Amino acid sequence: MPVSHAQMLRPGLTLGLLAASLFLSWIGFSSTYVVFPNMVLLEKCEELGIPQAQCTSENDRFLEAQAMQTEFMSTYMLLSSLPCVLVCAFCAHASDCIGRRPLLIVAGLQGVCTYGLIMWQGLRSPWVVAAVMALNCLSGGIYGANGNLLASAADVSAGWSPTERARMFGRLEGAIWMGQTIGPSLGGVASNLLGPQRALVVPTLLSASCAVLGVALMPETLPRERRAAFSWRRASPLGGLLLVRDVPHCLTFAAGLLFAQWGISTGLTSVPLFCKRTLGWPDGTIGAVDTVYFAANGLGLLVCMPALARRVSAKSIAMLAGLSSATTWILLANVVRGWELFAVVCVAFASAMIFPIIRTSLVTVLGPQLNGVALGIMSLVELVCQLGAPAAASATWHVLDVRGWPDHVAFAIAAAEVAVALGIFAVVPGSQLRFETSFDVDRLCEGERLSQT
């Protein structure tokens, strides 16, 4: 009896390597949540002639430095994320054409170059920002690399039942969230010991570790017979969405995911602002709230998701995720004591379960030849949220200041955004979340050939 490519891969070992890569890359990326703002604040103090030792709230010009830091970070996030949005679909389609492993290695090397450059030069010079933008075009940033790693997992699990695939994606998603549990604390410790700029040695080394894993241990998961021919249509920025326009429920999944992710991003952006302004908490305590939130979601994915996937329908899990997230932000809108924050964020334990459900649906509906494109749609939605939600949340807080409205309104807005996602998933027929392959790849390729002719 012939041995399949998936059997030759030793699925358990390959998925373990993929989980390790996701875990390490997200520890490195999330460590910058603390390092970058602190580093930029010191740079702005330096521009104002404030010595590093005096860059504290006791200095008369500290508020001016903070305002400059906030403005710079908003601009930097926009400029560094925009190339990722533009090349995300290209990288996803490229992985369907040339295989996953080359892009996994490129993503690790891109992280080494990006973090190493900023560790060497800081973010004072415009050419450094321009170089970061160019480097992000290589792999689509952390979310593009994320999609490629998960596409490898979809290749390995091509012959599995939909339930087992959902459990597998849940565990890999859990590695991402647990990485974000550890990363900010590690970044804070490194920043205190080495200084913010030198602390970037942490994500640099972790990116190098991912590159080494890709070169030395990671097998190629996409067999040559399943690789696609290159198509500029699929490689365009909206290529994945154009591809599934004839499969309406895929667009529905993407819309629901957009509102769910936007609401989560809005809420997470609002937490530190609320804690500082309303509760007067220091950064360390605020970071502890974020840690509890990420840990609750990570445990939910690693412990609860595998059990639920075997016992309830995919739609039920999607509804639970939406209810968990919406309830969290509604409760936060009514918090009056600081300790209540830690209890409330634990309610969000099921929020991230929506991601493995949507991933399983997309890769199964589109079939094994389009795993990269399918998960590229997810990456694109996540990048759009990363690009827009924090800026929108900051604008919301400005409006609250101007109009004198209570700070709790920000969480009510996050809850409303998640409620829209919950409504979308509520009207999706359960049959569309049964993970049935319904996409005719041969018909798609024939249609593309005719359109090109």
- Cβ atoms of 165 and 12 closer than 8 Å: no
Give the pLDDT of residue 248.
Answer: 67
pLDDT at 200: 95
Amino acid at 348: A
Q: For the chain, give every domain's residue range.
A: 11-220, 232-445
Those residues of the chain that have pLDDT short of 50 are 1-8, 435-439, 446-447, 449-453
pLDDT tens for 296-330 read: 999 999 999 988 988 888 889 999 999 999 999 99
Note the pLDDT of residue 437: 47
The top-level CATH class assigned to 232-445 is: mainly alpha
pLDDT number for residue 314: 86
pLDDT at 283: 73
Q: Pick 11-220's CATH classification: 1.20.1250.20, 3.30.2320.80, 3.40.50.300, 2.40.50.140.
A: 1.20.1250.20
Alpha carbon of residue 31 to chain centroid: 14
Q: Do the two domains 11-220 and 232-445 of this chain adopt the same fold? A: yes
Two tokens, residue 88: 């995300």
219 φ/ψ angles, rounded to the nearest 5 degrees: -80, 160
